[in-house]
Amino acid sequence: MKHLCLNLKRFDVPVRMGGVNRLAEGNVWAQTIVSNTKDELEQYRGKARFPMYFPEAHIIPAAQAAGNDSMIEVGCQSVYRADVAPGVNFGAYTTNRPAASMKALGVTSTIIGHCEERADKLGVLQEAGVTDTAAVNRLLNKEIQCAAAQGMTVTYCIGEKAEERDRWQDVLSEQLTIGLDGIDTSKVIIAYEPIWAIGPGKTPPGADVIAPIAQFIKEKTNGMPVVYGGGLKKDNAAMLASIPEIDGGLIALTRFQGEIGFYPEEYLEIIRIYMENQ
């Protein structure tokens, strides 16, 4: 089974407001994406799964557009580290995203530990004087526990920064050991993000770099699925599909030049290239 995940971040912001959304107005943005991809994805039933991680405001229209028994798994972008519980806390989580609230809206999957989430948590901890980097992994572990308790599948992101490349095994081992502590990993996949290679002007890694790292992760996790989280694109889809240790990828933008943004037809092209090169 291949895992082809879509992380739409804040791509709903229109160009006139500084964003990259040329696709549709915000109130129908998610609906447009789901409606224009769900039928073609049916051809991969039994071969791949397609979680789509939306900003919270777009989950209801995405779930409505997906309907029942869709190949699209409507997902949210992480959950809070605590959840509602009968007789304990029925929802006093102002500004936060409890897993129970997401499940009630139709969410079946979530992405946790993306490098941007890790950076945010680390920044907050540093403001509080906490320098223990393992604290981020402990917080993410609580999020995974809450998502798993609600029956969600989880894409758990790990990765090393440029200054950590010479000790990447230690960095990834800590993220895996602490982040997955006590977790039933049967519904978890690992997304490897080479943080040092993400962003304009950075050189993306090739198969010679990705394959041994994916193999290392599989060895540390007893064979858990590993997807490439550094960006599955049209120009690297065939290469990534050729790596036996890689089980899919994480897609974000589909166009990085010209009218930058996410376009459903280009997303489907990336999927086609990847699946045809298995």
Catalytic site positions: 114, 193
Amino acid at 73: E
How far out from the chain centre does Cα 19 lie? 20
Measured torsion, CA atoms of residues 69, 73, 79, 82, in degrees rounded to the nearest 10: 30
**Cα(164)–Cα(132) distance, integer angstroms:** 15
SS3 21: strand
d(CA 267, CA 236): 13
Is-contact 22 15, C-beta < 8 A?
yes
Which amino acid would we find at residue 60? I
Question: Under a CB-based contact definition with an 8 Å cutoff, are residues 104 and 140 in contact?
Answer: no
Query: Tokens in use for 173?
Result: 């081992």
- In contact, 15 and 44? CB cutoff 8 Å: no
What single DSSP character describes residue 247?
-
Could you please report the per-residue DSSP string of 106-122?
T--EEEE--HHHHHHHH
E-strand stretches of the chain = 2-7, 48-54, 72-76, 109-112, 153-158, 188-192, 226-228, 248-251
- Locate 165 and state its tokens: 């490349």
Q: Which two tokens stand for residue 142?
A: 């609580």
